[in-house]
Amino acid sequence: MSRNKDKDKDKDRKFNATTPAKRFFKLAGMTASIASNVTRSQVKKMLGNPDGAEEMKKLYSDIGERLADTLGEMKGAVMKMGQIASQYTDMLPKEVAEALKKLQKESPPMPFAQIEKQIATELGKPAAELFASIDPAPFAAASIGQVHRARTHAGEEVVVKVQYPGVEDCVESDLKHLRMALRMAGLLKVDKEMLDAVFGEIRRSLKEELDYKREADNARAFASFHANDPKIIIPRVFEQFTSKRVLTLAYEPGDHISKVREPDYTKEVINELGHRLFNAMGAHIFALHAVHCDPHPGNFAFRQDGSLVIYDYGCIKKLNQETVENFRKTTRAALAGDYSALELALIRLGVRNTEIAPHIGGTFYAPWAELTLRPFSDTPFDFGHSRLHEDLIAQGRKSLKYWNAFQASPDTLMVNRMLAGHYWTMKELGVNTAFRGALERNLSLAQAA
């Protein structure tokens, strides 16, 4: 019994950084340790250590593990930033980004006693009174909140998403201190403009994500949009158990992507799921003008009848009409091989920096267009065996001359995150089908009324 109490105390100590000051000191300690190790390794390299390159790789791997462990314990904005950074391998050393990927798959759960306090504070009654039962073991644990299975007194199966205490109060200081930590450790490989855009977009999306009432509104909007498609499943909101920091939704089960395998899922159903996901993404961009920007595998589930379940509506990017039209023009120009129109659309999206290079011609754009459109031909594309990501990296190395002529755009940053994330979804599913017809249909969609 005393051993269990000791474990609970250890967990409480892990998650007691709930004020800006405490979180600053935790980050500062991590930063000092990382910076010291980097400096020591660089000195050795300067002194002619023949194993310097391998030592730096090991150092970066160790740094990544330290970052992942610390950010996973702290949760909140810093953990969210770690998740996003793991998807942008051009921002951090490869070994660091690789270690941070575990933040996409796992998160140490917060003790249930703290979750119970948050429920009582937000909903005015203890969880034991509000629900007929609630599982103290988390169904899922993420960066800013934790999900628990429960049953209402009416017998309905639900999931209760509870925001971690103190997260909202610490967003600004978290982002400021993490940026400082990464800079001091010499890990960032992007310029100030790119960094400002990344952190600015994360700040915006986090502030929206912290408002669970807004997320409830988003879930209802997406459910209404997909109301006529019985194979797109959006969990129903339970208003009476929802507040700014607690969100209760109907439990909608489905298989994790790792379970979508033959023979339980036929190749035809897998390809159907690929089309359903692709068409949902396209419809969200070109008709709904609101994109689900978190492609984390845990936010999507699959059923053997070809149904797609979409969870988590906190990270939604609203797109204005002009941005949507420029996305449309960019894609159509690439399909037509009209690189002058492509250049103009990219400038209007804010992606092309004309101060660095006033004009870039078709000889640059043609190989990029060929690569990015490869999955969208009239013949089936085998995502499962695709090496498209490697080809894009290789093309990037050939294009270093124009690297600074392209920049991050707040309007495209999260959309690109979504598109890149679902490339990996299609790859893991093993989708092998043709998408040209689906792409053309999505480009022709009009804004939903």
pLDDT band of 202, cuts 50, 70, 90: confident
Residue 86: pLDDT above 90? no
The arithmetic mean of pLDDT across residues 375-385, rounded, is: 96
Distance CA 268, CA 271 (A): 5
At residue 310, the pLDDT reads 97
| Residue 424: predicted pLDDT | 92
**Cis bond before residue 263 (omega within 30° of 0):** yes
- Residue 12 has a pLDDT of 47
Q: Where residue 80 falls among pLDDT bands split at 50, 70, 90?
A: low
Please state, rounded to an integer, the average pLDDT across all residues of the chain.
84
Structure tokens at 304: 């053997």
> pLDDT by residue (tens digit) across 347-373?
999 889 898 899 999 999 999 999 999
| pLDDT of 10 over the 70 cut | no
Shortest CA distance to 384 belongs to which of 274, 278, 294?
A: 274
Lowest mean pLDDT among 37-41, 113-117, 231-235: 37-41
Average pLDDT over residues 200-224: 89
CA distances from 8 to 18, 67, 106, 258, 283 (A): 17, 23, 19, 31, 46
Q: Which residue has tokens 């009174």?
A: 129
Distance CA 23, CA 141 (A): 20
Q: What per-residue confidence (pLDDT) applies to 13?
A: 46
Q: Domains of the chain, with CATH numbers?
A: 2-106+170-185 (no CATH), 111-163+211-252 (3.30.200.20), 255-449 (no CATH)
Between 4 and 339, whose confidence is greater? Answer: 339
Predicted pLDDT at 204:
77
Compare 283 and 176 and report the one with higher pLDDT. Answer: 283
Backbone phi and psi for residue 326, each to the nearest 5 degrees, phi listed first? -70, -35
Give the amino acid at 107. S
What is the per-residue pLDDT for 5?
47
What are 252-297's pLDDT values in tens digits? 999 999 999 999 999 999 999 999 999 999 999 999 999 998 888 8
pLDDT at 6 over 80: no
Can you give the pTM of this predicted structure?
0.79
Q: Name the band, by pLDDT with cuts 50, 70 and 90, for residue 3.
A: very low
Q: How confident is the model at residue 243 (pLDDT cuts 50, 70, 90)?
A: very high
**pLDDT of the residue at 412:** 84
pLDDT for res 84:
62
CA–chain centroid gap for 160, Å, is 21
| Angle of helix 20-46 versus helix 76-85 axis, rounded to 10 | 40
pLDDT at 7: 47
Q: Does residue 61 contact residue 155 with C-beta atoms inside 8 Å?
A: no
* Cα separation of the two ends of the chain: 60
Closest CA to 383 of 307, 255, 266, 271: 271
Kind plus residue range of the DSSP H or E element containing 291: strand 290-292
Looking at residue 353, its pLDDT comes to: 87
pLDDT in tens, 388-419: 999 998 998 899 889 888 876 777 878 888 99
Compute how many other C-beta atoms are within 10 angstroms of the C-beta atom of residue 287.
16
pLDDT band at 193 (very low <50, low <70, confident <90, very high): low
If residue 309 lies in a helix (H) or strand (E), which one and from where to where?
A: strand 308-310
Nearest of 254, 264, 214, 249 to residue 232 by alpha carbon:
254
Q: Does pLDDT of 189 surpass 70? A: no
Q: Give me the pLDDT at residue 1, please.
A: 45
Residues in contact with 267: Cβ distance below 8 Å, sequence separation at least 6, in sequence order: 430, 432
Q: Where are the beta strands (DSSP E) in 139-242?
A: 140-141, 145-151, 157-163, 232-233
What percentage of the chain has pLDDT greater than the value 70?
Answer: 78
Residue 136 or 164, more confident: 136
Least confident stretch, 22-36, 105-119, 175-189, 278-292: 175-189
The answer to whether the CB of 103 falls within 8 A of the CB of 113 is no
